[in-house]
Amino acid sequence: MRDGVVFDAGRHDRAKIGFVLLSMEQTIESDMMRFVPPGVGVHFTRAKMPNQVTAANLAAMIEDLAEAAAVLAPDAGLDVLCYACTSGSVVMGEDAVNAELSKGNPTAIPTTLVSGVFAALDAFAVKKLVVATPYLDEVNVIEADYMTELGYDVLEIEGLNITDDADMVRVAPEYICDFAIGLDRPDADAIFVSCGALRTVDVIDEIEQATGKPCIASNQAMLWHCLRLAGIDDKVDGLGRLFREK
């Protein structure tokens, strides 16, 4: 190395967050880059999965998570490492996913997308909720059962029965907004729009304005939780009450 080289803290001097994505994922990277606060780095890798979002394909991802985590900026000193899939988190289970992430990257705090969702729901003391998803019924049943076991009262869960992730990413935000609002019930404390492939971040404010309730969306909750785990408490515009109030 040349003598006298001048170093600074780099672009990501506040925190570094890693995300393990599905191999076919198309929405999360742009959402994270769009909303991440200055000075926080977001870094991405991918784990193998076919385009079909089925329970079997999600469960099989467990075999590749540690390897994917190991190749993600191994010398960067990641603060947090997140498995970025809502349905995969519940199919494999948060503990199992976190264990695999830690195998590959033992110094980062491991977490999952759905862990961020639960943290966001708990921040609003949500007990009863409705859930909108793009998933097949088989995946919805697993998600509803998982949430029920954690103590949430899932009043209704409805999916679009879309199999391919490539179709999930093309669901129009305006449709997502109407879909979520249409599921609301008077006794629901909040609305959860599940799936990182959906462009729900574009319409969170509209859903909240129409219902008067918190809207928790997968990518919104994931970013919020990862930032809070990394010690970043910035407020971010355009991401609903969660980022304004918690």
pLDDT(8) > 80: yes
Q: Which amino acid is at 49?
A: M
Q: To 10 degrees, the CA torsion angle through 134, 212, 123, 186?
A: -70
Query: Residue 46's Cα: distance from chain center in Å?
Result: 14
- Residues 23-68: tens digit of each pLDDT: 999 999 999 999 999 999 999 999 999 989 999 999 999 999 999 9
Domain 116-219 has CATH 3.40.50.1860: yes
3-state secondary structure at position 36: coil
Q: Are the beta carbons of 214 and 234 closer than 8 angstroms?
A: no
- Residues 123-153: tens digit of each pLDDT: 999 999 999 999 999 999 999 999 999 999 9
Give me the residue spans of the domains in the chain.
116-219
- Residues 236-245: tens digit of each pLDDT: 999 999 999 9
Q: Where are the alpha helices (DSSP H) in the chain?
A: 28-35, 55-60, 65-70, 86-92, 94-104, 113-123, 137-149, 165-168, 173-183, 204-211, 218-229, 240-245
pTM as predicted: 0.96
- Residues 60-118: tens digit of each pLDDT: 999 999 999 999 988 889 999 999 999 999 999 999 999 999 999 999 999 999 999 99
pLDDT(158) > 90: yes
Question: What's the angle, vertex CA 159, arms to CA 156 and CA 164, rounded to 5?
Answer: 160
